[in-house]
Structure 1
Amino acid sequence: MKPGLHMFVAVLLFFSSELAQAAIAGPPFDPVKGTVKDKDGNPLPGVTIQIKGTSTGTVTQPDGTYSLNVADANAVLIFSYIGYTPQEVPLGGRSVIDIVLESSASELNQVVVVGYGTRRKRDLTGSVGSISGEAIAAQPVNTATQGVQGKLAGVQIVSSGAPGSQPQVRVRGTGSMLAGAEPLYVVDGVLTNDIRNINTADILTMDVLKDASASAIYGVRAANGVIIITTRRGKAGKMEVAYNMTVGWREVANQVKMANATQYTDYLKDAGPNVTIPDYGANSDWYGALLRKGFQQTHNVSLSGGSEKFLYYFNAGYLTDEGIVRANKYDRFTIRSNNEWNIADNLKFVAQVSYMHNTTQNVNLAEVYNNTYRAAPVIPITRDGKYGNTSAFQNVGNSILSIDKVNDRYKENRLQGTGYLEYSPWEFIKLRSSISANQGFQNRRRYNAVFLNDESTFLVAGGNQQRPESQLTMVKEEGTEWIWDNTATFQQRFGRHDLTVLAGFTSQQYEGNYLEGLRRNVPNSPDMWYLIAGDPNTSTNTADGDKYARRSWLGRVNYSYADKYLLTVSFRNDASSRFPSDNRNGYFPAVGAGWVVSEEPWMPKDGALSFLKLRGSWGRIGNDNIASNLYILTANSGLLYFFNGTPTLGTNLADIKDRNLKWETTEEYDFGLEFAFLESRLTGEVNYYNKKTKDALVTVKIPGLLGDPDNEYTTNAGSFVNRGWEFTLGWKDNLSDDFSYNIGGNMTLNHNEVTGLNQGQPLFRGGVGQQGNITKTDNGQPIGSFFVLDAMGVFPDQAAIDAYVDKNGQKIQPNAQPGDLQYRDVDGNGAINDLDRIYAGSYQPKFYYGINAGFNYKGLDFSMDFYGNAGNKIYNGKKAFRYEVTDNIESDYADRRWTASRPSATDPRVLYGNTPASTYFVESGNFFRLNNLTVGYSLPKNVLDAIKIERVRVYLTSQNLFTVKRFSGFSPEMISSNPKQDGFLSLQNSSSPLEAGIELSPYPTTRTYALGLNITF
């Protein structure tokens, strides 16, 4: 333990001891205990309880319980909680008083989880967004973050239609170039990068720590924001049994229509006049054969209840999602058990355990979508039980054959849990020790069956899509992560002073292994799909693994005076094994201050203004989400070289590493205004943030003198900034006991800019076939900006080509033909080349927004959510990625392209394989979507009483009902074209911000229709 922490703990214990002795030395107090809940039976933490006429008081614990020493048996207790109507309760000699507080309809005073503790939202000095579990579970989503889309300012969520996929999340912009841009997830104290194992029905609240002041308590893991998920617990009382289900289907929301046989034939007359087009009488719809309506269902059964000594919550859930791509399917089974034992009045033990098993029938989207998009419609998909051989006419495989002859199955098991012991030697001291574990096992079996032209396909001549040998690949991957947290919390109110002090130590370790084996000539029977059944002479084995550790010291002080002057100071020291020993320690301080202006006596008390708070904060946080070996030098031994003419075995370095790697660090300033008017019916929030990341990890080219000039190494040589504004506004009102309604919205404006990079070396990424890299990350531009030629339109005729000349009168595009794209000669040198590329925007939106509205009338409820963004660009990579002239084209392009009889000013006559990257392929990513529409009905109380059921609700819901957009591809909502879903076992996020926003082989965004049922007994 460091000297500073020694002194801190000593002072804390001395202070606690003095308070305890003062209490013992005073009058003989009798403790008054009880629980404070809301009208729905939920415990209320943070409720202030004060003895009337004195400065003595306390606050309720996270489970709503309290204990207060009272000397006067006739004293009056005041229970107050912002957002709830205060109550004055005469003691009357009682020692147990349970209270139910009525809500005053204020959302500014809900309790939120802030990391190693809770705070009332009105007392926060940092920026935190919150959403209830009910709002998430009300939507037919597989992963919790998908249900938050469009509901929180500063939080961009992009979801894929792929079953079992985890949406990509950006909190206040892109936070890293190479070290992963996804936020940290904390589930009941378990730190993870994957929450696909969390059943949405189990979630009580989700809190998003957006600024450095709020998230700095998590130090190294918090650079991209923190999402804290709290799962449900039992409530004292009789057992409650609940059943929730949804059943429906998903379909592609926007299908790209390809050219039919007639359009395709007309196009080839211009693009490939010497190509002989086969005539098999076919007009194939390849996407129609690939895509389908996928069945989806969820079922959840929960049991909860308990007594003063024991609380329990148990839930079992099952989910099936067929997916909209042929043969794709995802099944998930989850179990959760959350239990709490109150061993004594000041001692309790909590155990929270969850288990998930999922099975995924996978498809190779990169291969399947590429082939489907390019396949000629003149080739039949199947005929007489055989597959059309597209490769006999094109360099394209039959995508349906590829799917049908592959069995690719993932099986994953996840065990996640937390157990902690909490002891309060005095009512103002809470000691907690918790151990958390996260363990994952994944098995993959991919069997590629044999198929030959003469057996599985027709149109044999020239065909090359065949597999003469079967191939079996088996993968086993496992990872285990444990975290040990120890914290001490001091919480006390002295008159108008409210003080909470937290100190702690945490340790973490991860270890994982990866094994892969491959053999050929394995029999085509599932009972024989084992490596031992294959040819041992064709064996290939691969192994990998990782191990890293972190240890941290942390502390935080929350202070408020008169509930109007707020101060938060936190500090965390992290050490990570992912950096060299000299650079392992990172120091992450933060400070925030707030002023509740509405509490000032000079503020008007006419009732119009309910709440007004100003706050500001500063903090520093880090990022170590990189490979563990980036600074470790490796060597190749046993290499033969000649020394003085004599052959000698020697060793050389395999690569060049930066032995001085250090943390990426982000400093952020945040200023906010929170307000409520008209008895908190109108609420809102305005935030400004400025996040500056320095020492960003980027790649730098190795000088040619040191080896291959194409090689790169990773080092701290970048800096960039995200700054922006967030706006949130909401209105809620009850017009009568039977009718209430709400409407609200949020908007985020974000500006991302690289401010220092590689001593002037830009980063080129985003390969699109023969076009090469089409993104450039450089100073003064957003990360991953598109860098392409500027297409000014189409040459209408030869005269236009002849007229496009340089200052010397020479043709700038002498080889162009009428109908070709015309490119701007940016540098004025009379030739079109890479020096004429321009920045053409990026995938990062300039602003994104959400709108929500709803009402409740008696048993009827209605809600709708809209979501959209503007200012981002998408590169239509699949349209640009052309292998040969016989590739198919999109139907819209076929109708719009330039022809002699139908000149076009925008679309060229043909798209060749050598068509360069240009703004022609850069399209607007703006969209506006009806994200969710739900109509429900709950049976009235008299009917429920007659059938002896607590609650019955049925509802109809739809996701992504319509989208208004300009992008011609599958979806303008894109970060990564096809992100891998390695989840918890993944070393780092696999979707690189440097090459995002390129549509190559995306899983289409889906539209969902579902029927739901909620029953509580």
Structure 2
Amino acid sequence: MNYKHLLVKIIRITFLPLFILFSLTGIALANSANAHAVLKRKLTPELMGNAISITGKVVDEKTGEPLPGVTIKVKGTTIATVTNANGMYTINAPNAEAVLAFSFLGFEQQEKPVGNDKVINIALKASQSSLNEVVVVGYGTQKRQYVTGAVASANLNAFRDAPNTNVAQNLQGTVPGLNVGPVTTSGSTPTITIRGQNTISGNKNVLIILDGVQYNNSLSSINPDDIASIDILKDASSTAVYGAQAANGVILITSRKGANNSKPRINISTSYATETPAGNTHPMERDEYLEHVRNLYYTKAFLAPDYTTPDPSFNLALYVDHTQRDANNNLVPTDFNWYKAGTKTGFINDNQVSVSGGGEKVNYLISAAYTNQAGYIIYDLFKRKNLRTNLEIQPKSWLKLGVQAFGSFVNNDGAEPSLTDLFQMGPLNTPYNADGSLNPYPMATNQTNPFLASNVSDFERHNYLFANLFAQIDFPFLKGLSYRLNFGNNARSDEHYFASQYGAGLTGSAYKNNEQYYDYTLDNILTYNKSFKKHSITATLLYGAVERKDDYTGASANGFTGLTLGYNNLGQGTNEFATSNAWSEQLNYQMARINYAYNGRYLLTATVRRDGYSGFAANNKYATFPSASLGWVFSDEPFVHLPWLDNGKLRASYGVSGNQTARYYSLDQVSTQTAYVFGDGGTTQYGQYVSTLANPNLKWERTFELNFGLDFSLFKGRLSGSLDYYDRHTKDLLFSVQIPTITGFTAINTNVGEISNKGVEISLSSKNIARKDFGWNTTFAFSKNVNKIMSLLGTGDLVSSNLFIGQSINAVYGYRTNGIYQVGETPPSGYYTGNLRIVDNNGDGKINTDDRTILGSADPAYRFSVLNTFTYKNLSLSAFINSVQGGSNGYLGSNSPSQQLTDNSVRWNSMSGIDFWNPGNPNGKYPMYINSPTIAPTQYFSRSFVRLQDVTLSYKINNSFTKRIGIQNLTVFASGKNLHTWTKWQGWDPEIANGGLTINGRPLLKTYSFGLNLTL
């Protein structure tokens, strides 16, 4: 890897020189402004006249906890005070025009005019760039200054107004090391990975913790507006508290809550967004399609020897499907756009309302939301209703009780037409008969009309219920000792009812499927906090259990004489079927953790967790996962005299986390196959057989990770960030090994091999300009991960599984190509004009499978993102750029459309604008041929892109009228998503699976949104 070349490329792309220039300019301007402020005349108490006594309370906006030690100043004077241990304060203001300024290390400064208020309560927002913000670290919280693991906090505020229906969309590209894919269907959850792929056959899912409890349902059930913060645990030291399920990283989601001693606060927001494809991918229309058919028949439509001069005797109508000709064998005049008929402009309508507040011993938040999304493909529908209640009460000074509960009710009614068929149907055909009814077979094949799939009765509902009940006791007889009981309940019911008169070969089909899922988590957490002299200790003990169970029942039928009752009377079907399934699994675990700090500068965290899981083999039900990490706040050392250094901390950690097997993976597995035929012409009977051999010694995958990190803040908070380097090795990989069938089995699940992930992550935040009326902030994120298979079975590469020692799990293995065989060339035996020319890679004079080689990897070389936020008075503009780069041979994707002259290739339509080869287009990129080659290689191309992903413009309306009618905040906004992508990739979006020049891809959607936020 040429790191110098890589650095230059990053600098060019992100305009770093301008970034540095404007940062330094902003720092100079701010320092100048500060110097000017010192020269201003100070108002002393003697000049005050009739003072106004103001009281109030200051709390943390995220947690609602009181903040002691907050400084409150009367702006422009020397009058100041600080909050007490309960966050309370009293201050004398000179008059009603005075302005109070609230400041606290680790939080953003806030100003409040006195006006006619005698009580002013303030909720301070934690500074995202501060080392002193409070973060969730698993079974507790911790000041960032004392965090010794790789823990990142997502910047949710920058994307609050983005048109996202799933909370994971707010994370895309924002946190280095956290990789979130795109969304192409309504309400769906994107793929999420942290620090590369650690497993081959094991669980690949990131562990989601919601309000301290494991959440195993879809993130699409959660209302993004209910979320207060998201923290990401990336290294083994920080994830070790979750042991056996944490090898893929942990995402901690904390919902919003009310604040004690605050008046009821009503928040209302509404927005409307439109959705259209971000690209211009569509099928060929009539003229292009007919020209394409002509080129397929180039040996007949054009004259030899070069086949570039049209043959005047060629009648194209004789070579198309007979459904595309009239009675006189002329082409029908039809030019029907199937794709346009199956798509429309989509929309998202999002509405939120919440009420929060609290008294001295109670705080509450009640919210409701309704989201209605219709995607670009017709009947791609998603509707969600959310209700949430978060309540905390403190009946005694030593006792706190609470509940965090929500219900989510999702409607996915409706079935899409087949997008593949919408592309394949020819523009000379239509979906309708002469009487206006749907024609089941528009072309002379058994390929059905794509609108049969959407002309159905489809009822699909998903209901989610979640409740975490907790009680916390702060023992009065031993200060610092507390006990917390969490009882989390998580349930889901799925109903999918379907009926189609066109199903089962047009005989009609219907089904009713019901599934019930439930899990509970019971955690007992004992915490002890003690500070004495220069020592600070926090010890945590955990004992917990999880149980999950699922029950499924399905009934179906086909062969209906009539579907008047649809799926509500399956007994009308000729053939009836019933299926059922159920499973359960249990986990229990214990964890001990100690956090120690000496003099606030020397830090230690040590954790050990023991997990047991019912799904593992008899000899390995339990496993232990230890970790340790160190931190050094070097900026607090007396010998460090750097006036530009605010905070600096070095971190080092090492730990082990686990990955559990699939359910029943260690047991004998039974499959079915055709077994008996009773008599000549008799029916075939199925039998069962044991296909997979049990393995009583199957054990947990283990991930060992070493992490080094640096956190810093410079120039009085002007520039802050973090740098992490990690080296991660996953051993005892869960893998299904094929064994000789002479044993009576086909496979055994066992532990083999090792995978390595190494990488670097950089996060920078700068306050480029910080003036009274104008501000400009920038956040830059960069990550690089190198994935490598270190060992497998001990027998070398597993070519059939595409696994190679020393290469990425996602290595691309195939043939190199060098153009296309032209008219007049003599291709080697087995190859013809129009075929791709395969490179004889080993130089043996033959083209065969021995010429395959490693072409590169589907993994990115690196990722980066840049967020710029500009504020001018009440106007705010943010722009977010996200990018994935492949370097010289990374982030490769299959993109190899080809056309061979067959009945179907003539009959079927294809994607518009593909640069197919033909004699008149000898430099065409993709092959088109009459005869199929012996080997038809796949072509791979870079998917590198830079995307203008999110832009939001907002304006806060703040005038005397809004104040007079009691409006605390009224903000209107406009936002756009996926506005433009710079890439050389062709076809669908480069970030989407099947995203090339294929007819079975889906478009990335460009979204424009308008809305308002109101606080009363």
Question: TM-score range with shorter-chain normalisation?
Answer: 0.7 to 0.9
- SS of 1:333's equivalent in the other structure is strand
1:748 equivalenced with 2:772 (yes/no): no
Aligned position for 1:392:
443
CA shift digits 1:222-276 (9 cap, x unpaired): 1110000000111122111111111121111124233333333333344356944
Aligned position for 1:1005:
1004
From the superposition, tell whether residues 915 and 726 of structure 1 become closer, same or farther in structure 2 (CA, over 3 Å).
farther
Mapping of residues 89-168 of structure 1, within 5 Å: 106-168=129-191
Given candidates 376, 379, 388, the residue that maps to 1:324 is: 376
CA shift digits 1:906-936 (9 cap, x unpaired): 332348777855342x222111111111111
Aligned position for 2:773:
738
From the superposition, tell whether residues 879 and 574 of structure 1 become closer, same or farther in structure 2 (CA, over 3 Å).
farther
- Between 310-319 and 899-908, report the one with greater CA deviation: 899-908
What percentage of aligned pairs have identical amino acids? 26
Aligned position for 2:627:
590
Given candidates 239, 244, 250, the residue that maps to 2:275 is: 250
1:504 equivalenced with 2:553 (yes/no): no
Mapping of residues 928-1007 of structure 1, within 5 Å: 928-974=946-992, 976-977=993-994, 1001-1007=1000-1006
CA shift digits 1:73-105 (9 cap, x unpaired): xxxxxx996425999xxxxxxxxx999879888
Q: Distance in 2 between matches of 1:80 and 1:639?
A: 78
Superposed displacement of residue 831, structure 1? 3.4
Superposed displacement of residue 380, structure 1? 2.6
- Between 272-281 and 347-356, report the one with greater CA deviation: 272-281
Query: Which amino acid counterpart does residue 656 of structure 2 have in structure 1?
Result: R
CA shift digits 1:203-222 (9 cap, x unpaired): 00000101111111000111
Aligned position for 2:653:
617
Superposed displacement of residue 674, structure 1? 1.2
Query: Which amino acid counterpart does residue 612 of structure 1 have in structure 2?
Result: G
Aligned position for 1:380:
430
From the superposition, tell whether residues 912 and 487 of structure 1 become closer, same or farther in structure 2 (CA, over 3 Å).
farther
8 A contact 2:61–2:125 mirrored in 1: no
- What TM-score do you get using the length of structure 2 for normalisation? 0.81
Aligned position for 1:906:
925
Q: Distance in 1 between matches of 2:230 and 2:190?
A: 15
Given candidates 149, 160, 179, the residue that maps to 2:202 is: 179
Superposed displacement of residue 117, structure 1? 0.4
CA shift digits 1:30-68 (9 cap, x unpaired): xxxx99735869635796899xxxxxxxxx99x99599x
Mapping of residues 215-364 of structure 1, within 5 Å: 215-236=239-260, 237-271=262-296, 275-277=319-321, 278=324, 279-363=331-415
Q: Distance in 1 between matches of 2:730 and 2:133?
A: 32
Aligned position for 2:585:
548
- SS of 1:554's equivalent in the other structure is strand
Aligned position for 1:212:
236
Aligned position for 1:679:
716
Q: Distance in 2 between matches of 1:635 and 1:875?
A: 33
From the superposition, tell whether residues 625 and 145 of structure 1 become closer, same or farther in structure 2 (CA, over 3 Å).
farther
- SS of 2:173's equivalent in the other structure is coil
Query: Which amino acid counterpart does residue 173 of structure 2 have in structure 1?
Result: G
Aligned position for 1:18:
none
Query: Which amino acid counterpart does residue 156 of structure 1 have in structure 2?
Result: N
8 A contact 1:722–1:753 mirrored in 2: yes
8 A contact 2:605–2:629 mirrored in 1: yes
Query: Which amino acid counterpart does residue 399 of structure 2 have in structure 1?
Result: L
Superposed displacement of residue 512, structure 1? 0.4
Query: Which amino acid counterpart does residue 371 of structure 2 have in structure 1?
Result: L
Q: Distance in 2 between matches of 1:560 and 1:1014?
A: 43
8 A contact 1:522–1:529 mirrored in 2: no
Query: Which amino acid counterpart does residue 144 of structure 1 have in structure 2?
Result: V
Aligned position for 2:58:
37
From the superposition, tell whether residues 550 and 234 of structure 1 become closer, same or farther in structure 2 (CA, over 3 Å).
same
From the superposition, tell whether residues 902 and 637 of structure 1 become closer, same or farther in structure 2 (CA, over 3 Å).
closer
From the superposition, tell whether residues 781 and 40 of structure 1 become closer, same or farther in structure 2 (CA, over 3 Å).
closer
Superposed displacement of residue 779, structure 1? 1.6
From the superposition, tell whether residues 637 and 401 of structure 1 become closer, same or farther in structure 2 (CA, over 3 Å).
closer
Q: Distance in 2 between matches of 1:85 and 1:248?
A: 31
From the superposition, tell whether residues 911 and 168 of structure 1 become closer, same or farther in structure 2 (CA, over 3 Å).
farther
Q: Distance in 2 between matches of 1:881 and 1:447?
A: 38
Superposed displacement of residue 787, structure 1? 2.4
Mapping of residues 429-448 of structure 1, within 5 Å: 429-448=481-500
Instruction: Structure 2: state its 5+ residue gaps.
Output: 1-54, 72-81, 89-101, 111-119, 301-317, 325-330, 678-685
From the superposition, tell whether residues 178 and 654 of structure 1 become closer, same or farther in structure 2 (CA, over 3 Å).
closer
Instruction: Structure 1: state its 5+ residue gaps.
Output: 1-33, 51-59, 68-78, 88-96, 452-465, 642-648, 766-774, 803-812, 979-996
Mapping of residues 788-807 of structure 1, within 5 Å: 788-799=814-825, 801=826
Superposed displacement of residue 395, structure 1? 5.6
Query: Which amino acid counterpart does residue 244 of structure 2 have in structure 1?
Result: V
8 A contact 2:831–2:933 mirrored in 1: no
Given candidates 550, 566, 577, the residue that maps to 2:603 is: 566
Q: Distance in 2 between matches of 1:327 and 1:650?
A: 40
1:669 equivalenced with 2:721 (yes/no): no
Superposed displacement of residue 819, structure 1? 2.7
From the superposition, tell whether residues 637 and 937 of structure 1 become closer, same or farther in structure 2 (CA, over 3 Å).
closer
Query: Which amino acid counterpart does residue 746 of structure 1 have in structure 2?
Result: A
8 A contact 1:289–1:400 mirrored in 2: no
- SS of 1:213's equivalent in the other structure is helix
Q: Distance in 2 between matches of 1:613 and 1:474?
A: 58
Q: Distance in 2 between matches of 1:201 and 1:588?
A: 35
Q: Distance in 2 between matches of 1:204 and 1:624?
A: 30
Aligned position for 1:631:
667
Q: Distance in 1 between matches of 2:927 and 2:997?
A: 21
Superposed displacement of residue 723, structure 1? 0.8
1:401 equivalenced with 2:452 (yes/no): yes
Q: Distance in 2 between matches of 1:777 and 1:742?
A: 44
Query: Which amino acid counterpart does residue 423 of structure 1 have in structure 2?
Result: I
8 A contact 1:83–1:104 mirrored in 2: yes
Query: Which amino acid counterpart does residue 58 of structure 2 have in structure 1?
Result: K
CA RMSD of aligned residues (A): 3.5
From the superposition, tell whether residues 36 and 1003 of structure 1 become closer, same or farther in structure 2 (CA, over 3 Å).
farther
Q: Distance in 1 between matches of 2:390 and 2:125?
A: 27
From the superposition, tell whether residues 734 and 203 of structure 1 become closer, same or farther in structure 2 (CA, over 3 Å).
same
From the superposition, tell whether residues 444 and 838 of structure 1 become closer, same or farther in structure 2 (CA, over 3 Å).
same
Aligned position for 2:879:
864
8 A contact 1:48–1:80 mirrored in 2: no
Aligned position for 1:847:
862
1:199 equivalenced with 2:223 (yes/no): yes
Superposed displacement of residue 120, structure 1? 1.0
Q: Distance in 1 between matches of 2:527 and 2:999?
A: 52
- Between 186-195 and 879-888, report the one with greater CA deviation: 879-888
Superposed displacement of residue 284, structure 1? 3.3
From the superposition, tell whether residues 914 and 523 of structure 1 become closer, same or farther in structure 2 (CA, over 3 Å).
farther
Query: Which amino acid counterpart does residue 892 of structure 1 have in structure 2?
Result: G
Q: Distance in 2 between matches of 1:49 and 1:953?
A: 28
From the superposition, tell whether residues 683 and 827 of structure 1 become closer, same or farther in structure 2 (CA, over 3 Å).
same
8 A contact 1:874–1:999 mirrored in 2: no
CA shift digits 1:374-424 (9 cap, x unpaired): 3323323446424466663356332233322x3333201111110111001
- SS of 1:418's equivalent in the other structure is strand
Aligned position for 1:837:
852
CA shift digits 1:693-725 (9 cap, x unpaired): 1111122112132247xx444321232111111
